[in-house]
Amino acid sequence: MNDENQKFAVIAESKNYEKPLYLHDLTFAQLIDDVVVPYQTKQPFFIDGVAVKGEDLRKIKIVRQKESFELLFCDLHSDLRAGRSSGYKVPAAEYSIRLEALFREAGEDVTSQVVKAFNERILPRLKEYIPNRQELIQGASQVFIEAMKLLTRGGT
């Protein structure tokens, strides 16, 4: 998967909502616009249709979806709706547990790298974010890509 086609997911737990909250299939730009900027600037935003504020979150994790994510996600929903030919059907009560397991299996936790990219490229120019959005997101994306390359090479 090339860098422009990367997709991201967000897993969060809110003090004000009993179930885990999920977003998936976000581009890097959507992730920055819809989650990271409002979270870091203490503005309300939405995860899984629930309005949240950063201070209300017990947990937030950003995951880079692996290529296998889409197929496994479709399989999970198929098993939930209709089951398999063997008759096995995922009970709805297990959905959150299985979805979180899918994020762990077919995703990579990149929260630190995304926050680093935000802090290095967007935060210093936050007042210029709207008029320079594309430039700032591209810069943050480059920092993120370099951080991920270091991780795969075993660097820190």
Please, which residues have CB within 8 angstroms of residue 97's CB and are 6 or more apart in sequence?
Answer: none
Q: What is the mean pLDDT of the chain?
A: 89
* pLDDT tens digits along 55-108: 999 999 999 999 999 999 998 888 777 766 556 667 778 888 889 999 999 999
Report the percentage of the chain scoring pLDDT > 90.
Answer: 67
Q: Rounded mean pLDDT of 47-54?
A: 95
- The percent of the chain in helix, strand and coil, each rounded to the nearest 5, is 55, 20, 25
